[in-house]
Amino acid sequence: MLRQSYNLCPKTVHPKEFALRVFVWSPFESYFYSMDKHNLHIGTCSWKYDSWQGMIYPAHKPYNYLREYSRHYHTVEVDQWFWSLFRGDKAVLPKPSVVKEYAQSVPDNFIFAIKVPNSITLTHHYRKQKNDPLIPNPHYLSVDLMQRFLESLAPISQNIGPLIFQFEYLNRQKVPGGLTQFLDRFAEFAEQLPAGRDYFVETRNPNFLNEKYFGFLNSQGLYHVFLQGYYMPSVFDLYNTYREQVRGRVVIRLHGPDRKGMEEQTGNDWSQVVSPRDHDIASLVGMLSDLQSRRIETFLFVNNHFEGSAPRTIVRIEQRLM
């Protein structure tokens, strides 16, 4: 597959705005200028949080969340189009008006990392009760639906970076043949994907993460998503084990181990770090440094649930990287 490169020249900034930024410095902006050249892209998982006012957003509304966000970061993970499979096998695609609005809100060199709809990645519908029967998803790895999804993103086509296929924990009930069956099926799908895009795979079955899996990604021109959290093994240990098979590009997603607990601790106020993960950040900085030394293009997306405030976590990471 033909892969694309990203234009990472500095954003176009109005002279008056630039002067304001020089004299009114914010730690939530500085890393943009220091890290772009190192092939490292850092942003957050989603962006519309009122508790980021004073850090990312002005103190008073109204404002365009994404436009304000793009003044601080040049990439973001989009997950709102992931939740797309509904009763009756209905698969919902992005609304044209929303995609157009996003295109008009960001500079030309902004990068969207987009989670592919779960109507494509789910083998079966979600079950309300554990003992409910499994209902197959007829859109699972549908090339036609994937093509229609990409067509719906036409207004932001030049801004599309990683396209992430997130797979849930695929047990033997859903995939009787295990990893081999999963890879065989995904290979058929991957061979028909449009060229010129970068496709990433996130699996939430830790048993799938082995040499066969990483070898498959390399043979297909695909890339791995390292997920820290959701009961997955440490991304740092995993990277050390399969370092030589991590090539070209990589996505790292920092989510933390306890989503519900973090929400209870913060009360959904995402303005402060409430549970510092110093050891993880130290390990992350070592991993990022190694990836940069190997010229692996790296996308790092931080979730509020990692420490309590994604923007403040990014500042903490930046300080370690300086």
Q: What is the pLDDT of residues 172-200, one digit of tens each?
A: 999 999 999 999 999 999 999 999 999 99
Spatial separation of the C-alpha atoms in residues 255 and 115, rounded to whole Å: 15
Residue of higher predicted confidence among 158 and 19 = 158
Residue 241 lies in a domain: yes
Lowest mean pLDDT among 30-39, 152-161, 243-252: 30-39
Q: Which pLDDT score, from 0 to 100, does residue 244 have?
A: 97
For 188, counting Cβ atoms within 10 Å of its Cβ (0-12 exposed, 13-18 middle, 19+ buried), the class is exposed
Using only C-alpha atoms, the chain has a radius of gyration, in whole angstroms, of 20
Q: Which pLDDT score, from 0 to 100, does residue 128 have?
A: 86
Please report, for residues 136, 165, 319, the alpha-carbon distance to residue 37 in angstroms, rounded to integers and kept in the order given. Answer: 45, 27, 17
Banded model confidence at residue 18, pLDDT cuts 50, 70, 90: very low
Residue 113 lies in a domain: yes
Q: What CATH code is carried by the domain that includes residue 246?
A: 3.20.20.410
pLDDT above 70 (res 27):
no
Q: Which pLDDT score, from 0 to 100, does residue 32 have?
A: 41
Where in the sequence is the domain holding 55, given as residue range(s)? 15-321
For 310, half-sphere exposure in the C-beta direction (CA atoms, 13 angstrom radius) is 28
Written as six digits, the tokens of 253 are 């997603």
Residue 10 lies in a domain: no
What's the chain look like in SS3?
Answer: CCCCCCCCCCCCCCHHHHHHHHHCCCCCCHHHHHHHHHCEEEEEECCCCHHHECCCECCCCCCCHHHHHCCCCCEEEECCCCCCEECCCEECCCCHHHHHHHHHHCCCCCEEEEECCHHHHCCECCCCCCCCCCCECCCCCCHHHHHHHHHHCHHHHHHEEEEEEEECCCCCCCCCCHHHHHHHHHHHHHCCCCCCCEEEEEECCHHHCCHHHHHHHHHHCCEEEEEEECCCCCHHHHHHHHHHHCCCEEEEEEEECCHHHHHHHHCCCCCCCCCCCHHHHHHHHHHHHHHHHCCCEEEEEECHHHHCCHHHHHHHHHHHHC
Banded model confidence at residue 268, pLDDT cuts 50, 70, 90: very high
Mean per-residue pLDDT of the chain: 90
Residue 9 lies in a domain: no
pLDDT above 60 (res 36):
no
pLDDT tens for each residue of 270-304: 999 999 999 999 999 999 999 999 999 999 999 99
Question: How many distinct structural domains can be found in the chain?
Answer: 1
For 144, counting Cβ atoms within 10 Å of its Cβ (0-12 exposed, 13-18 middle, 19+ buried), the class is exposed
**pTM over cut 0.85:** yes
pLDDT above 70 (res 26):
no
Written as six digits, the tokens of 308 are 């309590």
Banded model confidence at residue 119, pLDDT cuts 50, 70, 90: very high
Written as six digits, the tokens of 125 are 């519908």
Q: Which pLDDT score, from 0 to 100, does residue 184 have?
A: 98
Q: Which pLDDT score, from 0 to 100, does residue 87 have?
A: 86
Cβ atoms 245, 214 nearer than 8 A: yes
